[in-house]
Structure 1
Amino acid sequence: MKTIYERIKEIRARLGISQVEFSERIFVSKSFYGDIEIGKKKVNDRIIFIVCKQFNVNEDWIRTGKGDMFIDTPPDIRLEKLLDIYNRLDGSLRDCLVEQSRILLKLQKDKE
């Protein structure tokens, strides 16, 4: 059976995000988070609570390995990143991003 440290690392890998991004999302330093993944730092209740809330993780799974990793579906971090970028753009650049997305969708459909 995997350790809590391995399960936390598995969450990050499943989400496809870096240690830096994961650590930022759970409000700890990169070095502290790196130590969590290798078992040098204890995973306390606060860390578990934040990981569960930030990433929709099943608390029972993170503590024991029982049940499903995610409560519903894992959050799509890429969508969150795209929304963040979109929200930072001014109106005309938002329009450009939407148009570029339409072009990408058309290219994908053409490949099928």
Structure 2
Amino acid sequence: PIPTPWLYELLFRCLGRVVAAVEVGVQGVRAFLYGNDILLQSVERLYPPIKRGGYVAVIDPADGRVIGVARALYDYRSIESLVEGLKRGSADPNAPVFENVFDLGCFVRGCRRR
């Protein structure tokens, strides 16, 4: 089963903190809500634990709300390393790091289950 954005919101409220999530920049939010994957250049903040192949909440930094669910293509340390590489100019900014599983834009686009 795939966790829903609403389940993540409830989990964060119960725990009093954010876990297993990625916060993305403005362009990343737009692209994600149109069904696209999250690229390295869009990663603003990581909230461990993040395991390769595991689900994460995707957070819009404008309001802190969960806008969807993605699957990690790398683990937490690997993504951190890629982000550092991006800052040094040695990583591809267009490399996908999270695969879009479900986004709230589906309600507008009429998505079908993958």
Common fold, TM-score beyond 0.5?
no
More strand per residue: 2
TM-score bucket (shorter structure) = under 0.3
TM (norm. structure 1) is 0.26
Whichever of the two has the greater Rg, that structure is: 1
Considering Cα pairs closer than 8 Å and 6+ residues apart, tell me whether 1 or 2 has the greater RCO.
Answer: 2
More helix per residue: 1
